[in-house]
Every structure is written in C-alpha cells, then in structure tokens.
Structure 1
Amino acid sequence: MKIKKNMVNGIIVTLVLALFAKYLAVFLPKLGPESLAMLLGILLGNTIFANQKFAAGIKWAEKYPIEIGIALMGLTVTFTTIKTLGVNGIAFILIQMIVTICLVLYLGKYVFKVSKKESMLMGAGNAVCGSSAIAAVAPTIGADDNQRRTTVATVSLTGVLLLLILPIMGPHLFGNHNLLLGALVGGTVQSVGQVVGTASLINATVVTYATLFKMLRIIMLTFVVLVFARMAQKENEQTRQKNGVIGQSQKIKVPWFIIVFALFLIINSLTRLPKGLTLGASNIASFFGIVNLAGIGLNLKFKTIKNSGLTFLSYGFVIGILQVLLALILIKILF
C-alpha cells in the first residue's frame, strides 16, 4: 500500500517505539522486545499518541511490514528441520498443533462463546507463531481489525505468562534434559522472539532445540492458513444458503506473503543460500514483528480491551495452560 503524507507521523512513531522496545529489551530480557513494544504501545496509544493525526500511519505500520516479515521467514527455515527433529519430534509438533487448534475452536464456541473468526485467529496464534500467524490468517477469513488486535494482545500476554513460568517449571520437571526442555518451550510458546527469550533463561542448548521445534511450527503456517481459509469459505457458503442466496462459491484467496513464504522455504531447502542473506532475513522479519506489535499496541484502545473483557483474557490463559499440559503429556509418551 502506498504511503500517504498523512501516514508519515504515525509510521515514524511506530518505528521509533519498536526500536526503543528492542533497546529496552537488553535490560529487560525476561519480557522481550515484542511484549515491551505491545505494552508500551497500549499505554502510549491511549495517552500521548491518541490524537487522530497518528492513526493512519500507525494502522499502516501495524499491517504491512509484518507481511514482508512473514514472507522473509521462509528464508529462515528449511525442510532439514524435519529431519533434525526425527519422527518423534515431528509427531510431537503435529499432534500438539492439531489438538491445540481443536481445543481453541471447541472452547471458543462452547465455553467462552467468542466468534468463529476470533477462535480461528486464536487457534493460529497459539498453534503456529503468535502475531505473525494471526496476521496471515486474518485476511483469508475476513477478520476485522479489532478482532485481530484483541487476539494478538491476548496471545502475546499468554506468551509473557509462559515466558515467566516455563524457565522455572521446565528444569524442575526435566532436569538438564535439553531436548525435552526445548520441546516444551518450542512446542508451546507463541512468537519466535518469546521462544528464544524463554529458552535463553534456561541455557543456550535449549535455545537451539526450542528454535528447531518452533521452526517446524512455522513451516506448517501455509497449511494452517489454507485450512482456516477453507473453513471460513465453507461457513460463508452455508450462511448464503440459509439466507437463500444462490451464487458461485468464492475461491480461497491466499495472501501474497504466504505464497512467497512457501517459495522461499522451498528455495532455502533446495539451495544453499549465503548465510548473510538468511541472517538478514531473520533480523528483518524479527524487527517487523516488533513493529507489528508496537502498532497493534498503539491502535488497541482501552475501550476495545474493556469490551473483550475478562472472558477473552481467560480464554487465552486457559489455552496457554492446556497447551503446556498437552506438551507434557506428549513428551512423556513420545520421548
């Protein structure tokens, strides 16, 4: 999308906040830059930068850089990850993701009574990679901005909770078994940054294993997007039939950045790319993830949080707890 003159101020504010969060994270590693960007954004977006003159630019910075970041993530992973983790590791992640998505959809419909689209966004965010997955799924299911912001905030806050709990609970349960600790962190924590931050509070080897498990979840992003897109399409068709509307069903629209992500993943798996290129892609994708959360925080108003209420936060925290319990059960069975 073209940057217009009225967007410049908001874009600058969002980028500066993202850079500040990245700098501040050096002194507050337990929170990480993503969480700091979002929390500071919520505070500043409801006070200093509540003026409408920032709104257009903040909205642009919230939505478009993350698309580039998601596309570049394809250069940071390869199919070699699958081989590295082995059959048990692959089974662990696949079962963890499938059951997590099923639990999220079930609880959203029957317990917490949230909309189907919000449940899908929560499923993607928790099962795959936090805000990046939510940003990827949102346009394919027609979710609005408030639904996207609320789910990102909830998933990110759940990630902060896990970041504080897992470095204490993990070693208590698994001792110095770094592979199992990596599976626990990499299979449950939402964003890539939070995975690295959580694992680094244990030890460097756990960071390596946790990242591998997390990368496999990211590889599955394209499939998750397609599944949710098909679910949304089917629901729309049923709605049209109930309303007596007859027409040709719409094709599933896959966002450009998901297609590029898949292409980059294949290229990176088949060709040995320069380390500088993959490292650069990783750094840019990581920073754009921080920009995304800074923008979401700046755009997320207290009124929206109040309207979503304690119910939605409880929904997120319950899913986080269930994810950890599921991971512990699967680790016990598979490893």
Structure 2
Amino acid sequence: MRIKKEQWSGIVLVVILSVLSSYLAKFFPKIGAEGIAMILGLILGNTLLTAESFASGVKWSEKYPIEVGIALLGSTLTFQTIKSLGINGVAFIVINMVLIIASVFLLGRYVFKVSLKESMLMGAGNAVCGSSAIAAVAPVIDSKDDDRRTAVATVSLTGMLLLFILPALTGTLFGNHDILRGAMVGGTVQSVGQVVGTAALINPTVVTYATLFKLLRVMLLVVVVLSFAAINKKSQKDVEEAEKKKVTLFPWYVITFVALVVLNSITALPDGAHHVAKTLSSFFGVVNLAAIGLNLKWTVIKKSGVKFLSFGFVVGAIQVILAFILIKTLL
C-alpha cells in the first residue's frame, strides 16, 4: 500500500473529485455521492483528465482505499449479522460459483472458441474477485501476459456494466429486500471494489450484505486456484507451490474484517467507533467509484476486442440469471 512519489498527483485528483461529489450530493441526493463520483470520473477521465501522470495514482486509489473501507466495515458487524445469511446464503455462493465456472468453460470451448487457460482466467475473474483472482490463477496455469491482460480488461468492463445495471434491476426484482439485493450484488459483481460501489448506489445496508456475500467468494479463491492448477495438469511441484501461497490468497482486509467482527461480537465497540468506521467506509466507497470512473478508458474497451467483450457480457448476463434463480430457490 506504499505510495510512490509519482502517484500523489492521481491520488489528490481522486480525493478532490470525491470531496466535490460528496458536496454535490447535497443538491442531487437521489444520485448520491457515489453515483456523481462515477459519472464525473467517467466523463473527465476520457476528456480533460487524460494525462499519463495521473494513471498510477488513480489505479492506487481504485484498489487500496476500498480495502481499508471493507476492513473497517467489520467493526460495525457481529456474528449475529453474519448468521442472518444462514447456511442457505453460503450454499448460494458455493453453488453459484460452481455454475459460473462451468458456464464459462462450456461457453469458452463450444461458443467463443477460446483456450482452456483463457477460460480459467475468465472463470476465476467472474466467479471470485475480478483482477485479483486472475492474478492469483495466472501463475499456476502458466498463462500468457496478453491473455491475462485481456481477461482483466474484459472482467473489469463486465463489472462496470453490472455496476450501472444492478442498482435498478435489483430494485425491480426484489423491491426493498436488502438481503436479497445484497446477495445479487455480492454474488455476481466481479471485483471487491465494484461490489461495494454497486451496493453503495443502493443503500448502506445493502453494502453490508453485499460485502458479506462477496467475502465468502474471496475466501474460496484458494480452492479455485488449486482446482485450476490440477485441471491444467501441472506437476506436483507446481501444485505444492500453489499450496504454499495459501496464506497470501487471503487478503489482509479479509483477515482484518473477520478480526474486527470477532472483537465487536465479544465486546461491543463504542458508538463513536462505529460512526467513524461507517463514515470512512462510505467516503472510501466514493473514492473507489471516482477512481473506477477515471480509470475506465475507451481504449481499454477497444483493446478487449469484440470476441472477448461478447464472452464477458454473455457470462455477466448468465451470472445475473443464475443468481436470480438461486436467490429465489435458496433465500
């Protein structure tokens, strides 16, 4: 999380845009600070603020602040909150992930004619946690750098599309049922940051539930990595190396999140601490969406190519359909 000198300009830009969006939200409460930040970022990032000097700082702002926000969210929860997901909530995530990976493999082989390794990258990115999952899987299947970059771009763009669609769609499908809306967002959207960003466009309660569902997916990353290593018929040595990476496959913010939930369950934290945690988490959510908007370039869309973009968007649609069926069946 160390900030380099060349990243400061991009970080300052994102913070200014986030503060401005929070101020403008007072006049446009229905859009909200998160929505305003994303819209302004998308417009400015492709017009006035295209300087390369901003790039690394904007990417930093998209990744790290939201991780702190997720970690802090643990201080506002207890085991009782998590228990509300129930065994059916866990089953929903596991079954959904298996079905998504199977769908990606079948589509990749019979419809879009991509390699097995490309399908694995797409499967990991869509089923687990976007670019982080792709980065974890790529080494154990010896994927090409170009394949990895294409998968990251496609999965990220699919997540952005869902970010725009799901706030309204979940309202239509589930009304004001926050747990079900959180399940849809947390069970389908690709990256952790995009999950929080999408849920933030709905309401804070949905952010909580969506984050819980998403973290269940993140915790299963190690299973996906080891499974894909085996599918790729790697040597025993490579599988053992993947197993050695188990600890790093559990991000620090997941560990901190769980630790704070345990602490808050054992001894209730003061209201002041809850308020600070919620305020910071909310602001970091605005920062995340401002950075996502600034970071989404038309050139990235172009580089993904028609075939992979179509692949990604079809998978995204299948994710939503499968999640809806499972939510109606299990939750």
Conserved 8 A contact 2:62-2:291 = yes
What amino acid is aligned across from residue 301 of structure 2 in structure 1? Answer: I
Greater Cα offset, 18-27 or 293-302: 18-27
Conserved 8 A contact 2:66-2:288 = yes
Give secondary structure in 1 for the equivalent of 2:198: helix
Q: CA RMSD in A?
A: 3.8
Question: How far is 1:42 from its partner?
Answer: 3.6
Corresponding position of 2:166: 162
What amino acid is aligned across from residue 195 of structure 1 in structure 2? Answer: A
Question: How far is 1:217 from its partner?
Answer: 0.4
What amino acid is aligned across from residue 249 of structure 1 in structure 2? Answer: E
- Residues 89-111 of structure 1 deviation map (CA, whole Å, 9 limit, x = unaligned): 55445544554454455545654
Corresponding position of 1:267: 263
Corresponding position of 2:141: none
Out of 236, 242, 249, the residue aligned to residue 241 of structure 2 is 249
Greater Cα offset, 2-11 or 35-44: 35-44
Matches within 5 A, 1:4-83: 4-25=4-25, 33-34=33-34, 36-83=36-83
Q: Which runs of 5+ in 2 are unaligned?
A: 139-144, 190-194
Give secondary structure in 2 for the equivalent of 1:64: helix
Q: Which runs of 5+ in 1 are unaligned?
A: 125-132, 172-177, 201-206
- Residues 67-99 of structure 1 deviation map (CA, whole Å, 9 limit, x = unaligned): 323332333433312433445555445544554
| CA–CA separation in structure 1 for the residues paired with 2:270 and 2:70 | 19
| CA–CA separation in structure 1 for the residues paired with 2:326 and 2:217 | 21
- 1:295 matched to 2:285? The reply is no
- 1:277 matched to 2:273? The reply is yes
Question: How far is 1:2 from its partner?
Answer: 3.4
Corresponding position of 2:192: none
What amino acid is aligned across from residue 298 of structure 1 in structure 2? Answer: L
Give secondary structure in 2 for the equivalent of 1:56: helix
What amino acid is aligned across from residue 120 of structure 1 in structure 2? Answer: A
What amino acid is aligned across from residue 16 of structure 2 in structure 1? Answer: V
Question: How far is 1:194 from its partner?
Answer: 2.8
| CA–CA separation in structure 2 for the residues paired with 1:109 and 1:24 | 48
- In 2 relative to 1, CA 146–281 (structure 1 residues): closer, same or farther, beyond 3 Å? farther
Question: How far is 1:305 from its partner?
Answer: 0.9
- Residues 113-170 of structure 1 deviation map (CA, whole Å, 9 limit, x = unaligned): 455324312222xxxxxxxx43653553359677545423321321321223332344
- In 2 relative to 1, CA 323–122 (structure 1 residues): closer, same or farther, beyond 3 Å? closer
Out of 274, 279, 286, the residue aligned to residue 282 of structure 2 is 286
How high is the TM-score relative to the length of structure 2?
A: 0.72
- In 2 relative to 1, CA 31–102 (structure 1 residues): closer, same or farther, beyond 3 Å? farther
Conserved 8 A contact 1:77-1:215 = no
Give secondary structure in 1 for the equivalent of 2:241: coil
Corresponding position of 2:156: 152
Give secondary structure in 1 for the equivalent of 2:268: coil
Matches within 5 A, 1:176-195: 181-189=177-185, 190=189, 191-195=195-199
Greater Cα offset, 156-165 or 18-27: 18-27
Conserved 8 A contact 2:122-2:134 = no
- In 2 relative to 1, CA 95–38 (structure 1 residues): closer, same or farther, beyond 3 Å? same
Conserved 8 A contact 2:25-2:36 = yes
